[in-house]
Amino acid sequence: MIDVSDPNHQTEVYYGRPGLYNIDDMTLDLGIRIYPEDKTQVFPDPSLGIGSKITIQRAMPIIVDDAGKITIIRTWQKQVGEVFSEQKIELGDKDKIDPSKDSWLRPNMKIVVTRVAETEIKETETVAYKTISKNDPNMDKGESRVEQAGKNGTKVKTYLVTRENGVEVSRKLTNEEVTAESQDKIIYVGTRVVILGRGNATWYDLISGMTAAHNTLPRYSYVRVTAVNSGKSIV
């Protein structure tokens, strides 16, 4: 027989048959289980072997999900916070609990604990060097020279990482420090125009008018011809 007048702690009544002399044999024979937290009354004493009335008042079952670890707790406490004190379940300053500690318990309630951890992580990044070009009027156009080689720098970024039950949920940049300055690569580029000669230009109409003759340049050379009177030029 089951009495559910107390919805949080139901009472069950069973009768052990004669010929059994202890509570363990009786519960095994009846196919029932008594938990350590339950309150049990047996009358008369099973050792008499005449049969006994077994009255069990059940402790309230509560499900605790602590960072994914599921535990069933049986208790006589009334609020969530009281269960945590009873079971010595400790919470960190950042940990979360749902429902709250002042919530009233009910049978088979699930309490979820989210473990929150904050740690600092440092990451080193490369700072790429820049390439700077400068004109050099004393160097022929088309020529260049490297005045200063480039060198990458480094910087360290510090993040505050928040994890819930071991899973990262946020990352906040808290500091950034350059540990090695980068060095720019400097290239000088010639701008001086090379004058191969002055005089009247000749060209061949047979080849689109863009092919000329020259006394010293090899065939297939490219030259820029500039008209001294107008400043116009063409390759």
> In terms of domains, do 142 and 185 share one?
yes
Residue 124 and residue 187 in one domain: yes
Distance CA 74, CA 142 (A): 87
Which pLDDT score is estimated for 230?
78
**Structural domains in the chain (count):** 4
CATH number at residue 177: 2.20.230.10
Q: Is residue 8 domain-shared with residue 70, that is, in the same domain? A: no
Q: Write b or e for each residue in 174-195: b if 16 or more Cβ atoms lie within 10 A of its Cβ, otherwise e.
A: eeeeeeeebeebbbbebeeeee
Say what percent of the chain tops pLDDT 70. 94
Q: Are 134 and 170 in a shared domain?
A: yes
Confidence of residue 54 (pLDDT cuts 50, 70, 90): very high
Which residues are CB-neighbours of 155 under 8 A, at least 6 positions away?
124, 125, 127, 176, 177, 178, 179
Q: What is the pLDDT of residue 220?
A: 82
- Cβ(41)–Cβ(15) under 8 Å? no
The tokens of 49 are what?
A: 């072997």
Q: For residue 161, give its domain range.
A: 118-191
The answer on pLDDT for 14 being more than 70 is yes
Residues 181 and 136 in one domain: yes
Q: How far apart are CA 23 and CA 126, in angstroms?
A: 74
82 shares a domain with 52:
no
140: pLDDT strictly greater than 90: no
pLDDT at 164 over 70: yes
Among 85, 114, 143, residue at a domain's last position: 114
For the chain, the distance separating the N- and C-terminal CA atoms, rounded to the nearest angstrom, is 110
**Co-location of 178 and 136 in the same domain:** yes
Helix (H) or strand (E) holding 13: strand 11-16
Both 139 and 187 in one domain: the answer is: yes
Q: Which residue has the higher pLDDT, 102 or 233?
A: 102
More confident residue, 233 or 174: 174
pLDDT tens figures, 95-122: 999 999 999 999 999 999 999 999 999 9
Q: Are residues 83 and 106 in the same domain?
A: yes
Query: What's the pLDDT score for residue 1?
Result: 56
Does 134 lie in the same domain as 95? no
* Positive/negative CA dihedral, 18, 20, 22, 27: negative
Q: Which residue has the tokens 């049978």?
A: 107
CATH code of the domain containing 100: 3.10.20
The larger pLDDT score, comparing residue 156 to residue 5, is at 156
- Other CB atoms within a 10 A radius of the CB of residue 59 amount to 19
SS (H, E, C) 111-164: EEEECEEEEEEEEEEEECCCEEEEEEEEEECCCEEEEECCECEEEEEEEEEEEE
Phi first, then psi, for residue 206 (nearest 5°) are -70, -20
Tens-digit pLDDT profile for residues 166-223 = 999 999 999 999 999 999 999 999 988 777 777 776 666 666 667 877 778 888 888 8
Residues 124 and 185 in one domain: yes
53 with 67, same domain: the answer is no
In the chain, the amino acid numbered 83 is V
pLDDT for residue 81: 96
In single-letter form, the type of residue at position 91 comes to: L
Is residue 89 scored above 80 in pLDDT?
yes
**Residue 203: predicted pLDDT:** 67
Hey, what are 128's tokens? 């790429």
Residue 163, beta-bridge partner list = 117, 168
